[in-house]
Chains A and B, each alone.
Chain A
């Protein structure tokens, strides 16, 4: 009995697995001020990684509440580093910040997710889009602080995802959060097809990795640091076959100094399906281009053009005739319409 069932299921699974057609990333830092340098460095490092793996800027939403590169306290103006070796300038020459400064608010973030933002960069995803959502900042039990002024609650985040799911705005989501008590932030999620991971449990802090003595502040958080380390060393390009499970297995208390959490139960197929997803399904970009045949299609196309000309002319003629008919007998039509509406 088992074999035929498995055979039946295989093609279905294949369809599901091969469904997504675009990749998007939403990268959000939520803290301001110089002492939170590391949060902005976290976000920029993630930005660099997803861009390296091929997600175009038009499909990355970057929210940065402060500009560390231009901070007067920055000893290295115009640059942001996430490592004290200062090998890679994260600010680089090509970064596109979509929401900056005071535009980074809870409301804008939720509106971005639910697409109720009429005049700004939008998250134009559909039911075939995989989204990577990364958040970092200062948080607590079931909340993440935005800019010292407000906070987003875990239930609000869950409702926003639910709104996205209802409107078929994602295929699968990888939600990653690096903040104190981060795991509480995804505890309230209830929409399907979300894999969630966080840096620390309830009542655990999320620690910074190291400080740069010349910059003068901590430059990156531990959880983000080890995520990046894995991505940099194991996922060199989009052909990498490393899975979500491989990444999650690389977390350890010794490295992160807090208990990183993962959540699979929302995902269709549970832990096994979630763990077997490729990292490039979320961090990389898929684009199934279709190459044309070399067959000379000009002949056919020429025919197509002349055909369309004829059809356009015919439909125009038909339209004119219709208009003429209307012009001839407008009163009777009006009466007819009137009567119909009365009979209702």
Chain B
């Protein structure tokens, strides 16, 4: 029995040799102990099998691999986006309509005055991006009922005849965007006169009223990448410096700001304050007034035994910047939501040792930290444990004026003018910012070919462009701020899309390392099978040729 087994064992290698040699020699070398020749049907079936594997790999495997590994890049209107960023899509022109309320003047004279004043204005103003256009007020209005029907009118000039002896004088109305002009009756232009003292006077007054706004807007245009023929002719270095300083300290525009009022004390007292009443009384009116432009949320806190970031009791200029103890004082770093403006009242024995420029010899009690908030040093109150709202009056009023500065409110002119200017500046700012975001996104899309662009980014871009168009069409009007705000928010959202993270760089070694273990075992039999089939087919053909 054992011999038999051994015999079987011996015979196997030969068998194996034969099978091994089989593919090499092909079908032609079939001899004695070799297996019987393959049937035609078997050969054909094998061809089909190899073919079907290939078909599956090419028509199912490849597309699946391609689909699952390519990066989805939504189509962005790149040309349009770049146009916006370069300022080609929108001419940043602010046509400001100014109504001329001539009172009881006859139509003819009024028209004449209007024409002359417009001439004088055009001569005065070479910055076409910010254009003042005069028109006659539709209906003569009474002094108590102001023009409210047309919100696009930035300013109404109310003319009233005054003393003949005096020269013309003007004053801004404190509550309404109205410039009251008193003129001596004899200064009215005659029908044919080429110029008029009154017209020039009005034009100069208007120029002065809008000078700050023009400076800020031309600064914004200048610092943006927009190229335009409406670009101002160049503003003086001095103006650039002041405006840039102002823009630097003001906060970025946001629809909502979060105001945090904190009372920090260096000891156990005072431990309570009438902050609610004080805010209601001294700050709320201003917040209400700002409502069309910003919303505000408020919170307050009291922290006892809070030590400032500096040791000395007399604070030098250097100390002021490190006075706020960022490490220990619980001041919100604006995680999500609205940006925070911090207002700190600190009670302690600290004094500011820097004589202020306005009145040397005396020292101030408060300072403002650009883009952050402000600090007020309050001497410990008499009734030790409680800070009354009376005591808080000065701090809160200081904070209010700081808030206006931090929001970027212009400093000259009457309050209503400052507000409407703020709205226009902000819409220009937002418009430019949204445009530049679009440009950044477009450049980034081209620069990073491996970053994915989800479809909601494309949606955001389309929405941004839509609202930008609306804002641009209504620039200087009431709706433009709203549209510019939406455009800017959409542009930001599109740019900061969460899934657009450029973390897709893989070195080639990595790719080989990933694909080789997968594709090697599959690829080798596939390729070998195909090669064998081709060889067999060639053999068959040459045999057929021989036979023929």
Contacts and interface: CB of A to CB of B under 8 A. Distances in A.
B367 interface: yes
A115 interface: yes
B331 A159 contact: no
A297 to B, nearest CB: 7
B285 interface: yes
Q: Which of B252, B285, B352, B393 has the most CB of A within 10 A?
A: B285
Interface in A111-156: 111, 114-116, 118-122, 124, 126, 128, 142-143, 152-153, 155-156
Contact of A291 (B289, B356, B436, B447): B356
B175 A315 contact: no
Contact of B285 (A155, A163, A312): A312
A229 interface: no
Contacts of B244: 15
Contacts of A310: 175
A57 B330 CA distance: 11
B269 interface: no
Contacts of A297: 397-398, 401
A58 interface: yes
A29 B68 CA distance: 34
Interface in B219-238: 237
A56 to B, nearest CB: 3
B368 A314 contact: no
Nearest to A165: B440
Contacts of B495: 167
A22 B416 CA distance: 33
A321 to B, nearest CB: 7
Given A292-B398, A294-B362, A308-B285, A110 B367 contact: no
A292 B367 contact: yes
A252 B492 CA distance: 45
A308 B286 contact: yes
B356 A292 contact: yes
A13 interface: no
A117 to B, nearest CB: 8
A58 B326 contact: yes
A312 B291 contact: yes
A295 interface: yes
Nearest to A290: B368
A232 interface: no
Contacts of A234: none
Contacts of B239: none
A159 B502 contact: yes
Interface in A285-303: 285-295, 297-298, 301-302
Contacts of A51: 327
A294 B363 contact: yes
Interface stretch (B22-30, B69-77, B205-213, B333-341): B333-341
Contacts of B497: 116
Nearest to B357: A293
Contacts of B241: 15
Interface stretch (B98-106, B133-141, B316-324, B528-536): B316-324
Contact of B505 (A114, A153, A239, A292): A153
Nearest to B495: A167
Contacts of A162: 444, 447-448
Contact of B358 (A168, A294, A308, A315): A294
Nearest to A317: B148
B118 interface: no
Contact of B326 (A56, A152, A167, A239): A56
Given A297-B397, A301-B400, A311-B289, A292 B502 contact: no
A312 B502 contact: no
Interface residues of A, number: 71
A128 B248 contact: yes
A239 B369 CA distance: 19
Contact of A21 (B334, B371, B416, B500): B371
A292 B405 CA distance: 12
Contacts of B321: 54, 285-289
B364 A292 contact: yes
A273 interface: no
Contact of B370 (A118, A290, A301): A290
Nearest to B437: A167
Contacts of A293: 356-359, 364
Q: How large is the interface on B (under 10, 10 to 19, 20 to 34, 35 or more residues)?
A: 35 or more
A111 B503 CA distance: 10
B501 A57 contact: no
Contacts of A94: 327-328
B359 A295 contact: yes
A105 B496 CA distance: 19
A156 B363 contact: no
A124 B335 CA distance: 10
Contact of A287 (B363, B369, B394): B369
A116 B500 CA distance: 8
A101 B148 CA distance: 61
Contacts of B397: 297-298, 301-302, 305
A11 interface: yes
Contacts of B285: 305-306, 308-309, 312
A59 to B, nearest CB: 8
B327 A166 contact: no
Contact of A122 (B240, B335, B498): B335
Contacts of A167: 437, 440, 495
Contacts of A21: 248-249, 370-371
B194 interface: no
B541 interface: no
A3 B120 CA distance: 39
B277 to A, nearest CB: 14
A233 B500 CA distance: 43
A155 B504 CA distance: 9
Nearest to B176: A314
B9 interface: no
A56 B321 CA distance: 11
Contacts of B35: none
A200 to B, nearest CB: 20
B501 to A, nearest CB: 6
Contact of A166 (B318, B362, B366, B444): B444
A22 B371 CA distance: 10
B354 interface: yes
Given A58-B326, A294-B358, A314 B320 contact: no
A119 B327 CA distance: 21
B292 interface: yes
A17 interface: no
A96 interface: yes
Contacts of A305: 282, 285-286, 397, 400
B267 interface: no
B391 to A, nearest CB: 13
A3 B397 CA distance: 50
Contact of B503 (A107, A120, A124, A318): A107
A302 B352 CA distance: 25
Given A288-B370, A292-B364, A160 B175 contact: no
A102 B361 CA distance: 57
A252 B284 CA distance: 62
A19 B241 CA distance: 11
Contacts of B237: 11
Q: Which 8 residue pairs spanning A and B have beta carbons closest together? A: A56-B326, A293-B358, A287-B321, A312-B288, A166-B440, A301-B397, A308-B289, A308-B285
Given A168-B436, A287-B321, 10 more contacts: A19-B248, A54-B321, A57-B326, A153-B506, A156-B503, A166-B441, A291-B354, A294-B362, A294-B363, A294-B364
30 contacts: A56-B324, A94-B327, A111-B501, A114-B501, A116-B500, A121-B335, A152-B503, A156-B505, A159-B505, A162-B448, A163-B448, A238-B318, A239-B318, A285-B321, A288-B370, A291-B352, A292-B365, A292-B367, A293-B357, A294-B358, A294-B359, A301-B397, A301-B401, A304-B286, A306-B285, A311-B415, A311-B416, A312-B288, A312-B289, A315-B292
